[in-house]
Structure 1
């Protein structure tokens, strides 16, 4: 949300985004929250702790959701999934390669089960140069 509050008006003023697009996105978000009962008893969420969130059942659901939500735009030369025998070494660049916890949280403010930076995740499969 910070991104939109910082740059949203500029994008609208420059014609890169319509205010109606923002309205539609917010409507969808809040309708989903309402259907999920988020506003029925907000106190129930503030009392959740790691033991509630990090159960095997919830972690499995999160992994399943992540898998279903991924989109591969291009898999040039069939490099994915990463295979050390095919790829050998990789170099990864970017501002979030060793992302600190604050960046990894984004707008989510609940207690995470654990953090895995992009570098840590990729290093399970290949070596870095």
Structure 2
């Protein structure tokens, strides 16, 4: 899941063989200027986690910013990753990690507890 925009994600998605990705869209004028944006859905990451749970999936989420907090709190396990210090300090109940290995270890620990 990403809050990015289709226009930014598409080059990477093409290189990955066109997996499914749900993004927001930029509004681009005929002269190429970005004039706005269209959200696919308000609070889309949070709603996606809710939707996955509604069909029986367990979720692990990682994010780095204020806009990720609802998703992280809704997930079965949520982690801050390379978040600004004030976001980690304001949300001490969400484990925060700065290195990929630390995050991977936390995810692995969650998966091992589930069996």
> Could you say whether these structures have the same fold, taking a TM-score greater than 0.5 normalized by the shorter chain as the test?
no
Structure showing greater Rg: 1
With CA pairs under 8 Å and 6+ residues apart, which has the higher RCO, 1 or 2? 1
Q: TM-score, normalised by structure 1?
A: 0.22
Q: TM-score, normalised by structure 2?
A: 0.23
Q: Which has the higher strand share?
A: 2
